[in-house]
Amino acid sequence: MLKGNFDIPLDFLQTKTPPLIGVDISASAVKMVELSELPKNKGYTVERYVIEALPKDAVIDGNINNLEAVSDGLTRAFKRMGTRIKNVSLALPAAAVITKKILLPSGLREEDLEYQVESEANQYIPFAMDEVNLDFQVIGPAPGNAEEVEVLLAASRKANIEDRVAAVQSAGLKAVVVDVETYAAEAALDQICTQLPGGAIDQCVALVDIGANAINVNVVRNGQSVYVRDQQVGGAQLTQQIQDKFGLSAEEAEAGKRNGGLPDNYESEVLAPFCENVASEIARAMQFFFTSTQFGEINYIVLAGGSAVLAGLDDAVATRTQVNTLVANPFAQMTLSSRIKPRQLQTDAPALMIACGLAMRRFDPS
């Protein structure tokens, strides 16, 4: 691992880590997950998790806009978790990270490999090297060429990392891993793919994360991302529509969306049209996928994010796309500690994909 060019001891792609909890800082909430490993690699146990809401505009476009509000949210979340583990794994939004697969000669010594990576990075990073944190991981032999290795390069501006590190430090926690949200979600998706027929081998699975402000579509095949696209619609739009329709505050609308109690015409006049709009956006993203890749089929759609559990959304997506659609639950085959309420976890699971993937970094053997 390349640890030079770091002012703080973090690795984007670090694998061997101490006990930690996964922490996802999203636009709407702080989400924490703690997993433990069963004996003889028999799977995982969900020990604890928590979702702590953040004030509006505390995080904007993936960037921390109000450090104090985020730090306070982290403090509250950690207190509710009731764990002694203070090491955390964080993630940056994909938009804040430059990733590139490069080919280098095989058999290089570690110091030569680091030098070559930094030299190659200069071609792809539009910032001065002293402004970025850089890491890499050797993926394996290059396809069709045994004399080269494929290397994944990841880099981000230091300011993007330092804001998140400062927030967790203010909450009394220690950041030991900085990952990328896309990779963390893919790690959690692996837990879901094992539940699909044939383990979804040689099949295209679209992970659709419906966030507060955008839908991220990431098509994965055999554990590798083959297509990514964002569509500009999210759960915050539904909250705003509820406010406008029923004259509620943002807090009342959000509570009604999550817990029920809205007027009888909510489902037919607000929720159903919103679900149809989301389904249409997903279908559009799929068409872009078909026209820009060699693949002609998506075999499964996995809905993630806080809005994934909206009543009727999975049916609307399945009907519009004609693709098998399921709501994400990476914990379905894990054991649960006595602290966990199974029904509540099933409701919260789609929003915990990134936090789950980050928590799994504790067990990565590579």
Contact between residue 235 and residue 251 where contact means Cβ atoms under 8 Å apart:
no
Look up the pTM and report it.
0.87
What average pLDDT is seen over the chain?
A: 88
Tell me which amino acid residue 248 is: L
pLDDT in tens, 125-138: 777 777 788 788 88
Q: Does 2 have pLDDT greater than 50?
A: no
β-pair type (215-221, 224-231): antiparallel
Delimit the CATH 3.30.420.40 region(s) of the chain: 21-95+160-187+336-363, 196-328
Mean predicted confidence (pLDDT) in 71-80:
96
CATH code linked to domain 21-95+160-187+336-363: 3.30.420.40
Query: In which element (H, E) is residue 82 found?
Result: none
CATH of 196-328, one of 3.30.420.40, 3.40.50.300, 3.90.550.10, 3.40.220.10: 3.30.420.40
pLDDT at site 108: 82
Contact between residue 307 and residue 330 where contact means Cβ atoms under 8 Å apart:
no
pLDDT at site 16: 52
Show the tokens assigned to 92.
């940056």
Q: Does 278 have pLDDT greater than 80?
A: yes
Tell me which amino acid residue 305 is: G
pLDDT at site 6: 36
Show the tokens assigned to 126.
């539009």
Show the tokens assigned to 14.
């670090």
Alpha-carbon distances, residue 350 vs 285, 305, 307 (angstroms): 20, 5, 8
pLDDT at site 32: 98
What DSSP line would sit under 27-45, residue for residue? SSEEEEEEEEE-GGG--EE
pLDDT at site 234: 86
Helical segments of 82-154, H only: 110-124
Number of H helices, E strands in the chain: 11, 16
Q: Does 319 have pLDDT greater than 60?
A: yes
Higher pLDDT, residue 91 or 16: 91
Show the tokens assigned to 276.
């149809």
